[in-house]
Amino acid sequence: MEDKKLAATAPVSTKRRDFVTAALGASLMSMVPPGVRSAAWAAGSDAPEKKEVRIGFIPLTDCASVVMAAVNKFDEKYGIKIIPTKEASWAGVRDKLVNGELDAAHVLYGLIYGVHLGIGGPKKDMSVLMTLNNNGQGLSLSRKLADKGAVNLESLVGLMKKEPREYTFAQTFPTGTHAMWLYYWLASAGVNPMKDVKSIVVPPPQMVANARVGAMDGFSVGEPWNHRGIMDGVSIHAASSQDVWKDHPEKVLGTTAEFAQKYPNTARAMIMAILDASRWIDSSISNRMKMAETIAAKSYVNTSVNVINERILGRYQNGLGKTWDDPNHMKFFNDGAVNFPYLSDGMWFLTQHKRWGLLEKHPDYLAVAKQINQIELYKQAAAQVGVNVPKSPMRSSKLIDGVVWDGSNPAKYADGFKVKV
């Protein structure tokens, strides 16, 4: 029943390919040689309507699947050319998506939802085509705080009580993922991020420089900037985003609803190319190392390879002598588990926007997620490249505070937190 509802919201009729997929099955489709598949794909009504696509990205490790789709020419298999476009800030990505300068972007999950609802910028109907990665973000504290004994959440709260003042924490965008990890993390220890501390916005590539001059006591950002802060001696690792929520959704391939509706074949081609790149990255350590070497270049992340490659292999340090291996490091594919645009993932960000006063009233959580997350479009693309999809568009997770999120009653969930606005 759920699949029928979801199919009804698909932005384009796909009778021809649905017939082929039904006849062959996803498993058989995956056995067809890629060259044959792409030749068939480029024929007739399945040909991409737009051959060249500009996909924006911010200099972060998790832009890798977009970059590698272009560098390794996975895009050419599906009749498109991806032009990765480096952007300076999430606000810039938002504006260029809205005005059409970018066709799509490596973008914060919560940014897409915020724009769709008119919070954090101009209101415009938006689409999530796929999830790009799970895990791999960080919560860092300044060396100044670490020198006073604040090296994790518990000791941070202790210091804040012992030395009361205005503590400042940076995140990267008001409705974005890094803001939500920071807020959830602090709130799990009883700190209200809207009342007890000051929150500021700093673009990811500028985070370490701002920390160096003492602009904040801590920050929440994606890699490689947490590790860069450690290597530069300006910050220490306090927690990972996967400590807040194991296998959480992070960046997405986002676009406008208008683009998804006008260019559905192009959207599917982008998904397929990036799925191929995601699978390639996660398939071996050597591929991950090649990816690190590629994205470290000035035209992409612009940092040294060793700042990137440690954490993409799960090798962590806290900057104070402690090292460990984290099995829940950044994943780009994980046999397709990463990439499916779960409705419950999108809904979760809305619950946090409501919790922190970014939304005044409860939205229709499920209806909004069905509008934004292009489940049917993703399923069609996944079937073409032999990627597994889950049976349900909802999933269940237990977060750092022990509270379970499964999407079943989002309004109750949003209202149920002790620490909120």
Q: Find residue 237's DSSP bridge partners.
A: 140
| Per-residue confidence band for 120, with pLDDT thresholds at 50, 70 and 90 | confident
Give the C-alpha separation, 178 to 170, whole Å.
Answer: 9
What's the pLDDT score for residue 180? 98
Is the CB of residue 111 less than 8 Å from the CB of residue 94?
A: yes
pLDDT at 75 over 80: yes
**Letter string b/e over residues 33-53, b meaning 16 or more CB atoms within 10 A of that residue's CB:** eeeebbeebbeeebebebeeb
Give the C-alpha separation, 318 to 235, whole Å.
Answer: 9
Give residue-wise pLDDT tens across range 277-315: 999 999 999 999 999 999 999 999 999 999 999 999 999
Q: How do the residues of the chain divide into helix, strand and coil, expressed in percent and rounded to 5?
A: 45, 15, 35
| Per-residue confidence band for 45, with pLDDT thresholds at 50, 70 and 90 | confident
Run of H or E residues at 40: helix 34-41
- Please measure the distance between the N-terminal and C-terminal CA atoms of the chain and give it in whole angstroms: 37
Domains recognised in the chain with CATH numbers: 2-134+248-317+325-393 (3.40.190.10), 137-247 (3.40.190.10)
pLDDT at 74 over 60: yes
What's the pLDDT score for residue 84? 98
The CA-based diameter of the chain, rounded to the nearest angstrom, is 69
Q: Is the pTM of this model over 0.85?
A: yes
**178-183 mean pLDDT:** 98
Is the CB of residue 203 less than 8 Å from the CB of residue 172?
A: yes
Q: Show the tokens assigned to 21.
A: 């997929």
Q: Residue 187 CA to chain centroid, in angstroms?
A: 22
Q: Show the tokens assigned to 10.
A: 């698909």
Is the CB of residue 358 less than 8 Å from the CB of residue 114?
A: yes
Looking at residue 381, its amino acid is A
Run of H or E residues at 277: helix 264-282
Residue where the block lists tokens 């999950």: 109
Cite the DSSP H helix spans in 150-298.
153-162, 177-187, 207-212, 225-231, 241-244, 257-262, 264-282, 285-295
Give the C-alpha separation, 307 to 326, whole Å.
Answer: 16
